[in-house]
Structure 1
Amino acid sequence: MAIKSELTLPVVISAGIHIGVIVALALGISFDDKPKHMPMAQSAPVVQAVVVDQQRINDHAEKLKKQRADTQRKEKERQADLDRQAKKARDEVRKEQNRIKQLEIQRKQKEQETITANNAAKAAKQKELAEKAKAEKATAQRKQQEAERKAAEQKADEKRKREEAAAAKKREDDRKRKEEAERKRKAEDAERQRQENEMAEAMAAEQVALSATRGRQVVSEVNKYTAMITSAIQRRLIVDESMRGKSCVVNVRLAKDGFVTSSKTLSGDPVVCRAAKTAINKAGRLPVSSEADVYEKMKEINLTVSPEFN
């Protein structure tokens, strides 16, 4: 618009000058007080000059009109080009906004997965503590039963001694009392053996419960680190449309510090398998637990790699 304003002023000035020339010529011809008689030989050049000047004015006006049209056309083309550039910029901004939204959705999904894994670990820890408390209670009961058994044995010994002292006074009664004492002793031995058997069974059950708890904890840790390893590989995986809906099973061997000692493809799409091995090599070192029994379960694992698309 600034260019149009700059061009309009010269055009107006030029048109004004030419109109003034035309008016001056008209006044010079038509408004003399007394027309002067001029020879015919002199009037012909005046008419010719007026015609020539009028032609020059028309030519110049046409030239100015063409210049103005060219200027307007160029301005329209420039404005159209600016509009195209603005539209392209808006489209790129919109695409970037959509990409950022998708990244935010993925971040929230990963964050939710981490929260879920943490909650599962907390639940497993709480269950482990509950089972540990249960085992401690069983141990306390076993100790109490042991103390009661020892007290019963001590009481039985004292009773037997009293019976043996009384038997010295009366042998027949002593024999009978000895038989009774022997009967009771055998019953007490049987009871003691029963209690010992119960105590052994309780200790065995306690050991089984502790082993089962640790086994579940190891499985939970293996699942957690497997998910972390898969996520680390997915972040480095370069994907394209030819890989959509396809997958690859990869065998990975890990050192104790998480360093990848070897990787090989077991089955799946060749393109996905090549991308998966490249991503594993880029990672170099993957997440691994420092606990020996957990590492033993995951020092060699099979992973299924499936490309993710936004």
Structure 2
Amino acid sequence: MADNSNVALPLSISAGIHIGVIIILAIGIDFTHKPEPVQQVSAPAVKAVMVDQQQVANQVEKLKQEKRDTERRERERQAELERKAQEAKQAREREQAQLKQLAEERKQQEIETQKANEAAKAAQLKQQQEKEKAQKAEADRKLKEQERKLAEDAAQKAAEKRKVEEAAVAKAEADRKQKEAEAKAKAEADAKAKADKAKADAEAKAKAEAKAKADAKAKADAEAKALAQQEQEMADALAAEQAALSQTMNKQMQTEVGKYTAMIKSTIQRNLVVDESMRGKTCTVSVRLANDGFVISSQTQGGDPNVCRATKAAILKAGKLPVSPDPAVYNLMKEINLIVEPTFN
């Protein structure tokens, strides 16, 4: 019994030292590592001049990529925890083998101690995993909320911009109709005045002819010459009036052409996907239009290749471009050359 007591004390000391080493190794495993916080992406300010749906899509993709990077780092951290746990387990197994060789009677005590340690580690690991799961769920919620807000802001700004453009088009159309009515009224008034003058002149001429019958033949020759001169003056006045009316109509048509050209450029700019490499660069494009605005064809005539590709894509996306209901204006615009220069907010 004395010999057993002498052996048991050193064995107890040795076992205690080894158990302490195992606990230190277990505590050394980093169970407190927290996943890197998801970088908060501030929503860019979207101005009301032009709206670009592609920029919104790029921002959403960036946020999703950051989420995937966070999940990848979490998987790597979990793998590192498992590796350390495996190393600790292997160390424990080696220690158990040594303790078994030192003292068989202490085996049951070591097993119970090991189970207690493993239970504590499992509880700690479970607590850490639940904490990380809650943090990840909160990060996902914030990301989805940010994406929703970005989409709502973009939709609101697009709607506001569309209302402004529609109001501008309606005002331009009203102004055009008013000018056409004014020009028509003026032309009719001028034509009536000319007709009244011609009628008065004709009456005067009839009176002069009646009086001339009573005059001598020499006097009749002079009156015939005066009559020819008067007819020439009337013809000249009528020609001048027609020229003035034609000039007025041409000016109105050019105004319409300028207005619809601006509307076509605005439609192309609205569908144009731009980047910084296009700043200050242009593209000349030739477009053929049907009388309902349908794009029959578009050909680039020169300019920056990136701007030209984006311009053709914007025209294709629009499908139809604004055209005047006036056939004369349409004939001037059915084949139109445009210079497109990207605009930036």
Is TM more than 0.5 here? Answer: yes
2:262 and 2:241 map into 1 onto residues whose CA distance is 32
Alignment of 1:97-246 (within 5 A): 97-157=152-212, 161=214, 192-193=227-228, 195-246=230-281
TM-score, scaled relative to structure 2: 0.54
Could you tell me which of 246, 249, 269 is aligned with 2:284? 249
Identity %: 43
Deviation readout 1:39-58 (Å, 9 max, x if unpaired)? xxxxxxxxxxxxxxxxx9xx
The amino acid that maps onto 1:153 is: A
2:276 and 2:138 map into 1 onto residues whose CA distance is 33
Relative to structure 1, the CA distance from residue 79 to residue 292 in structure 2 (aligned partners, 3 Å threshold; closer, same or farther) is closer
The number of residue pairs the alignment matches comes to: 235
The amino acid that maps onto 1:93 is: R
1:208 and 1:85 map into 2 onto residues whose CA distance is 73
Check the 8 A contact 1:131/1:213 in 2, yes or no.
no
SS at match of 2:342: coil
SS at match of 1:246: coil
Relative to structure 1, the CA distance from residue 254 to residue 76 in structure 2 (aligned partners, 3 Å threshold; closer, same or farther) is closer
- Point out where structure 2 has 5 or more consecutive residues left out of the alignment: 1-111
Matched with 1:22 is none
The amino acid that maps onto 2:281 is: K
Q: State the 1:203 CA deviation.
A: 0.8
Q: State the 1:83 CA deviation.
A: 1.8
Matched with 1:268 is 303
- Point out where structure 1 has 5 or more consecutive residues left out of the alignment: 1-55, 162-177
Relative to structure 1, the CA distance from residue 114 to residue 235 in structure 2 (aligned partners, 3 Å threshold; closer, same or farther) is same
Q: State the 1:265 CA deviation.
A: 2.8
SS at match of 2:286: strand
Matched with 1:13 is none
Higher relative contact order (Cα pairs below 8 Å, separated by 6+ residues): 2
Q: State the 1:78 CA deviation.
A: 2.9
2:168 and 2:292 map into 1 onto residues whose CA distance is 24
Deviation readout 1:17-69 (Å, 9 max, x if unpaired)? xxxxxxxxxxxxxxxxxxxxxxxxxxxxxxxxxxxxxxx9xx97x98877765
Q: State the 1:260 CA deviation.
A: 5.3
Check the 8 A contact 1:138/1:202 in 2, yes or no.
no
2:285 and 2:296 map into 1 onto residues whose CA distance is 13
The amino acid that maps onto 1:137 is: K
Select the structure of larger CA radius of gyration: 1
SS at match of 1:265: strand
